[in-house]
Chain A
Amino acid sequence: MRPMDLLQFSTQTLLRQRFRGLMILIAMGLGVAAVMILTALGQGARGYVMNEFAAIGTNVLAMFPGRQETTGGMPPPMGAAARDITIDEAFLLQRRVSSITAVAPLIVGSARVGYAERAREVSVLGTSALFFKIRHLTVGQGNALPDGDFRVASGEAVIGEKLKRELFEAKPAIGEFLRIGDSRFRVVGILTGRGDAMGMDLSDAVIIPVAASQRLFNAAGLFRVLIELREGTSAPDAIKRIEAAMQDFHQGELDVTVISPDSMRATFDGILIAMTLAVSAIGAISLFVAGILIMNVMLITVSQRTREIGLLKALGASSTDIMRIFLTEAMLLTGMGALVGVLFGFAVVKTARAFIPTVPFDAPGWAITAAVITALLTGLGFSWLPARRASLLQPVDALQKP
């Protein structure tokens, strides 16, 4: 048979048996879409986490109180009993370890922020000028926190743009005084954008000098210290020296953890890639299920069309012809199913991206290609047996089937 005739013959058959076609189409489509969507989910999670790390920068270390032995793991849960890291220690550290260019101590909390008769409960972040640089925060109007000695509890505040709107509406905010808790702070700058940091939406937050936040929250220690290293410094070296210095400050006890986001990023990346592959494999299982469905449907078809197979053989169809006819049908269905699945998958991924813009959902090309190829191979593999069974029928037996 000519390839075009084969295709036309099969198409005609499929059009007359829409229900069967539809079933395979849906099963295959769902399988392919599942692989795509799950992969996109995994990739999205990975992209999200990687973006978070990318925002920190590569020559930045993070130090937090408490000791965690496994390197590159997650920070310990908050409130773990450990000696505090004080602002003075952060300041001294910078002096002690020469490879440090700057540190950004962090204290986070929430407080009532008011202006005139308006007030809101928002997140308050106490830190230093370096934080703006490390997190790539954009100050639209005014300035970031001053670059001076962060041990001084000065009264500047940088506010997020949403908070600015809520409190000031269209009025200018720079130079105005805010009430935060019981203190007064002067607005020196307004942030642009969300500037996500540790899951906090900075557009609805206030950033004040860390010493002022310590007083505000009456906090003894720092939540975290971000440490910027000189370009070209070896992170493991610096970590050792920082730990040595902190041990020194804490009477010989090593009770802080210093991590390099780079190493954490590598660990996370590995985990997330493995996770992506795992969920893709789960998606592939649905392709396998679709394959079994195809096999059953094709077996039923072969049985229903036994007389037709007998007739075609009587008219001179070879076993190869019969095999080709059934494989073409299965491949047509699988191919269409895969196409529908890809389109559906794209639609879902696009919708997800529209609803959750911060997570970069993305079905990568390799996943789509792999899903489609797996689908086609599954279709071919699982229809092979039914097609072969059809091709081996003896013409006379097939014709006499009731």
Chain B
Amino acid sequence: MNNEALADGTAVIELQNIEKTFQLGDQTVHALDGVNLRVMKGEYVSVMGPSGSGKSTMLNMLGLLDKPDRGNYRLAGHETTTMDEEQRARWRREQIGFVFQSFHLVPRLTAQENIELPMLLEGLAPRERHNKASDVMARLGLSDRGKHLPNQLSGGQRQRVAIARAIVMRPALLLADEPTGNLDSRSGTDVIELLEELNRTGITLVVVTHDAQLGERARRHVRMVDGRVAAE
């Protein structure tokens, strides 16, 4: 599957009755309690809701980082709950970009090496990796930061590197969990504008945020309460 291969108006994400519980001591937490959600190709969705309402848990499901206890998740028309770990890894590698609140850069690798990681895992040739990374860095204004280590970059720059890494494989789906949570408002706005710009090029974007102002910018708002989608 490829971003371009999916016709407009096709569902990228179809969640049906997703349930997920966690065991906290002898207490069972229903992090997701029957979630239904459908996101079309090219959509820009913000997910909001109080802390502990299951936003991150749902985004992890969408990114195939976690498995639901019950329910179905079709990604670009493919049922994911029956996939084995290797298939899920492949989908993550090729079709999903993930941006985390805490950046998650590998500290001992330079910005460019961090951006090349997904391509390294994919097994692309060094030359191709280099070219693609350079392209993305140029697009994101990181060209002169390639050789810097993460601790030599500002928060905003780090998140840019993380976004570059998330999109370098040209995934169909870009997921961001509180991407501005660790940034000041100015670089936060920058990052959101960058994500929106990427969305305009056709990538499907789901952003989790508790910042109402940022959330309002999305064309579609999903509100979660107590592990359910409460309102759209």
Question: Interface on A for B, CB 8 Å cutoff?
Answer: 1-2, 5, 9, 12-13, 16, 307-308, 311-321, 394-396, 399
Contact = CB atoms under 8 A, between A and B. Distances in A.
A316 B117 CA distance: 9
B104 interface: yes
B186 interface: no
A370 B103 CA distance: 47
B178 interface: no
Contacts of A321: 89, 121
Contacts, number: 68
A396 B60 contact: yes
A313 B66 CA distance: 11
13 contacts: A5-B123, A12-B108, A12-B109, A13-B108, A16-B108, A307-B104, A314-B65, A314-B98, A315-B93, A315-B118, A315-B165, A317-B121, A321-B121
B109 to A, nearest CB: 7
B121 A312 contact: yes
B120 interface: yes
B85 interface: yes
Interface in B88-109: 89-94, 98, 100, 104, 106, 108-109
Given A9-B120, A319-B85, A319-B86, A314 B106 contact: no
B65 A396 contact: yes
Contact of B89 (A9, A13, A318, A396): A318
Given A316-B92, A321-B89, 16 more contacts: A9-B120, A12-B108, A12-B109, A307-B104, A313-B65, A313-B89, A315-B92, A315-B121, A316-B90, A316-B118, A316-B121, A317-B93, A319-B86, A394-B66, A396-B65, A399-B100
Going nearest first, the 3 A-B pairs with the smallest beta carbon separation are A316-B93, A318-B89, A396-B66
A315 B89 CA distance: 8
A399 B89 contact: no
B63 interface: yes
B211 interface: no
A311 B92 CA distance: 11
Contacts of A307: 104
Contacts of A311: 104, 106
Nearest to A308: B106
A395 B67 CA distance: 10
Contacts of A312: 117, 121
A332 B148 CA distance: 27
Contacts of B117: 312, 315
Nearest to A395: B65
Contacts of A319: 85-86, 89
Nearest to B126: A5
A308 B109 CA distance: 11
B122 interface: yes
A318 B120 contact: no
A1 B90 CA distance: 12
A394 B104 CA distance: 16
B65 A399 contact: yes
Contacts of B66: 394-396
Nearest to A325: B121
A128 B151 CA distance: 87
A303 B214 CA distance: 36
A13 B63 CA distance: 27
A316 B165 contact: no
A5 B125 CA distance: 9
Contact of B123 (A2, A315, A394, A395): A2
Interface string B110-135: 00000001101111011000000000
A316 B89 contact: yes
Contacts of B169: 316
Contacts of A399: 65, 100, 104
Contacts of B122: 316
Interface string B47-65: 0000000000000100101
A316 B94 contact: yes
Contact of A317 (B63, B89, B91, B109): B89
Contacts of B89: 313, 316-319, 321
Contacts of A395: 65-66, 92
A316 B90 CA distance: 6
Nearest to B113: A12
B92 A314 contact: yes
B177 to A, nearest CB: 10
A16 B107 CA distance: 10
Nearest to A2: B123
A319 B104 CA distance: 19
A206 to B, nearest CB: 74
Interface in B38-80: 60, 63, 65-66
Contacts of A313: 65, 89, 92
A145 B92 CA distance: 93
Contacts of B85: 318-319
Nearest to B92: A316
